[in-house]
Amino acid sequence: MFKLDKNSYGTLAVVFVVAAIFIYAVFRLVDIVWLKWFLICFAWLFCIWQLYFFRIPKRNPVGSDTIVTSAADGKVVIVDEFFEDEYLKRPCKRVCVYMDFFDVHANYWPVSGEVTYYCYHPGKHLLAFKPKASEDNEHASSCIRTESGSEVFFKQLAGTFARRIVNYSKPGLKVRAGEQCGIIKFGSRLDMFLPLDADIKVKIGDRVLACETIIAQIR
């Protein structure tokens, strides 16, 4: 079983109202029987997909202050070393996870610790899997410092169709790995920046699950 994201009730209400109006119009205006039922089924399937899209599934978190788990469901598209110039200002190991339309889009704290930084950046809506999306797209940045002093920085990146990023970060907030930290609505990407001595456990092409897939071991 799963519950729905609390930030998406309004979006879902709009979807169902529009679908109801559409179905009513189809009943009144479309005379071809097969086309009428095809359009009605399409509207209902779209509503069901939206419920599925905004789901918050039950997970078994395995993260801690030294075990970094994926903050998002999806496919690993980048694993490299990258100079993070927004907050950390140093070279890091970077792991990027791309979420398609059928992945869970809720995001979760990747590690336990204290939020030390948060900033929302308006921007473009390039295809989320493109490298330039990390810099140019609308995104929200957060950093968590663990008890040992390690820092895990991550970005929620909006994609071509995403127009809203929800993030619960607030400097000073104590967080626990595996608890929800927000949601990105529609196709998007999440980039994680880890210490250079982090032991990365995933590779490009891997499918990952938030809370349950270990991304790296840190000190």
CA distance linking residue 139 with residue 190, whole number of Å: 9
Instruction: For residue 57, list its beta bridge partners.
Output: 2
Structure-block tokens of residue 159: 């994609």
**Is the Cα dihedral 116, 120, 123, 127 positive or negative?**
positive
Contact by Cβ (8 Å): 180, 155: no
146 secondary structure, DSSP code: -
Catalytic residue (one of 8, 134, 169, 188): 188
**Helix (H, G, I), strand (E, B), or coil: what is residue 112?**
coil
- The candidate with the shortest Cα–Cα distance to 23, out of 41, 4, 5, 1, is 41
Examine the residue annotation and report whether 188 is marked as an active-site residue of this protein.
yes
- The candidate with the shortest Cα–Cα distance to 178, out of 110, 77, 114, is 110
Q: Active-site residue numbers? A: 188
